[in-house]
């Protein structure tokens, strides 16, 4: 099954950096790097709160800043009928990730998104049309991605199907609670080498994903 090895294997490629501490995210500034992953463990209190999210089609999003992030997220949760006070540990965790993101993005504003889904989301491999993205999946399987060597960039750009984009092998997958920084096509000198990724195929499996994303 595609993606099955992703949570236990880390590829030895120069463009993707992995580490057990958040300092690994600092390597996103390296010119060749298009992915940094902090392989952090799950947080018990956060997992318990996220387990109470049951609406399968949430799509909460807003423009935010480092200073207003926590308040904006609380308002998003409240508007969706999720009492932000019941998710205090989760909100604090999101705020810590946002601080890291803004420190690396060097941007005043970003788009925050909190999504839940029981289907496949973005099925096709793609590169984000963005500068930088932070992703963390709090529940369910994480984002799948390909090494540069696995990708046929010509077929990717021409709109070819996934089977013609992947030259060989299986995609790698981020584990729950891991934090990824992805370079998109708008990052300087990444127009043709941003990270190629997709949502994991879960349609019909009964799996439930809760995903957090920051884009700029």
100: helix, strand or coil: helix
DSSP E strand boundaries for the chain: 16-19, 35-38, 59-65, 109-117, 132-139, 144-146, 172-173, 179-183, 196-198, 209-215
How far apart (Å, rounded) are the C-alpha atoms in residues 80 and 49?
Answer: 15
Query: How many Cα atoms are found within 13 Å in the side-chain-facing hemisphere of 172?
Result: 22
pLDDT band, very low/low/confident/very high, at 6 (cuts 50, 70, 90): very low
Angle between helices 88-105 and 69-79 (to 10 degrees): 130
CA distances from 15 to 18, 35, 49, 173, 196 (A): 10, 7, 34, 16, 12
- pLDDT of 176 strictly over 70: yes
pLDDT band, very low/low/confident/very high, at 206 (cuts 50, 70, 90): confident
How far apart (Å, rounded) are the C-alpha atoms in residues 118 and 33?
Answer: 31
User: In sequence order, what DSSP letters do the residues of 126-137 get, joined into one string?
Assistant: B--SSSEEEEEE
Residues 31-68 pLDDT 10s:
999 999 999 999 999 999 999 999 999 999 999 999 99
pLDDT band, very low/low/confident/very high, at 203 (cuts 50, 70, 90): confident
Average pLDDT, the chain: 93
CA distances from 191 to 69, 106, 185, 186, 215 (A): 29, 19, 4, 6, 16
User: pLDDT exceeding 90 applies to what percent of the chain?
Assistant: 87
The whole-angstrom distance between residue 182's C-alpha and the CA centroid of its chain comes to: 8
What DSSP character marks residue 7? T
How far apart (Å, rounded) are the C-alpha atoms in residues 5 and 157?
Answer: 27
Residues 66-90 pLDDT 10s:
999 999 999 999 999 999 999 999 9
- Assigned architecture for domain 25-215: Sandwich (2.60)
pLDDT band, very low/low/confident/very high, at 137 (cuts 50, 70, 90): very high
Query: Is the model's pTM score more than 0.85?
Result: yes
């Amino acid at each position: 099954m595609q993606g099955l090895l992703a949570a236990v294997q880390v590829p030895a490629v120069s463009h993707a950096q992995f580490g057990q501490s958040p300092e690994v995210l600092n390597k996103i500034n390296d010119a060749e790097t298009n992915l940094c992953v902090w392989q952090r463990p799950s947080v018990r209190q956060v997992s318990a709160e996220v387990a109470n999210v049951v609406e399968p089609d949430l799509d909460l999003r807003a423009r935010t800043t480092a200073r207003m992030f926590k308040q904006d997220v609380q308002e998003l949760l409240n508007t969706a009928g999720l009492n932000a006070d019941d998710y205090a540990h989760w909100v604090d965790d999101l705020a810590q990730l946002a601080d890291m993101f803004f420190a690396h993005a060097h941007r005043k504003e970003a788009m925050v998104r909190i999504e839940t889904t029981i289907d496949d989301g973005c099925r096709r491999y793609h590169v984000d049309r963005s500068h930088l993205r932070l992703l963390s999946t709090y529940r369910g399987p994480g984002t799948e991605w390909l090494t540069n060597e696995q990708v046929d960039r010509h077929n990717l750009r021409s709109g070819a199907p996934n089977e013609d984009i992947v030259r060989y092998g299986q995609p790698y997958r981020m584990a729950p609670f891991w934090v990824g920084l992805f370079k998109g096509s708008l990052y300087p000198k990444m127009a043709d080498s941003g990270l190629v990724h997709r949502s994991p195929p879960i349609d019909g499996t009964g799996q439930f994903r809760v995903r957090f994303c920051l884009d700029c």
